[in-house]
């Protein structure tokens, strides 16, 4: 079992990589908005959420990283160090979007997202724990 052979990602590096991925979606939002789609459009929100799920699931499932994670040298693996496949990243992305959509419970979403700052052992967010994934440092990926 490779569980002890991987080193969890530095939480600040992970945060910056996540923000880099977010910038890609901000760019998509700005393009849609400049094309005349109302910024508060429910359709736009649903489309962007669906694209975010596909983005996460496809990149992590195929390569083990998103473009933002790749730029900062991070990878996503199962807790045993193997490739994540497609199902786990898909459930992870759906859980993240569900928490993001649940604005009424935003403190729960905030804690779930940034739990990796508290989890000293594995640096997993709560949705990573849900599906058994780790974000790891490049030398150990």
CA 12 – CA 9 distance, rounded (Å): 8
pLDDT of residue 54: 92
The pLDDT tens digits for 118-138 are: 777 888 888 898 899 999 987
CA 130 – CA 128 distance, rounded (Å): 5
Please tell me which residue, 30 or 67, carries the higher pLDDT value. Answer: 67
The pLDDT tens digits for 82-95 are: 999 999 999 999 98
Mean of pLDDT values over 57-81:
94
- Measured on CA atoms in the order 100, 103, 109, 110, is the torsion positive or negative? positive
Q: Could you tell me the CA-to-CA distances from 45 to 35, 38, 141 in Å, in that order?
A: 15, 10, 34
- Whole-prediction pTM value? 0.80
Q: Is the pLDDT of residue 40 over 70?
A: no
């Amino acid at each position: 079992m490779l569980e002890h052979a991987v080193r969890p990602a530095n939480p600040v590096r992970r945060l910056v990589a996540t923000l880099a991925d977010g910038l890609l979606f901000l760019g998509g939002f700005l393009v849609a908005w400049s094309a005349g789609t109302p910024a508060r459009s429910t359709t736009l929100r649903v489309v962007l959420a669906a694209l975010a799920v596909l983005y996460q699931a496809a990149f992590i499932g195929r390569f083990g990283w998103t473009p933002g994670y790749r730029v900062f040298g991070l990878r996503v693996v199962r807790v045993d160090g193997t490739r994540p496949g497609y199902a786990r990243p898909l459930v992870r992305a759906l859980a993240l979007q569900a928490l993001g959509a649940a604005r009424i419970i935003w403190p729960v979403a905030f804690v779930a997202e940034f739990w990796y700052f508290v989890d000293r052992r594995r640096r997993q967010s709560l949705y990573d724990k849900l599906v058994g994934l780790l974000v790891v440092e490049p030398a150990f990926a």
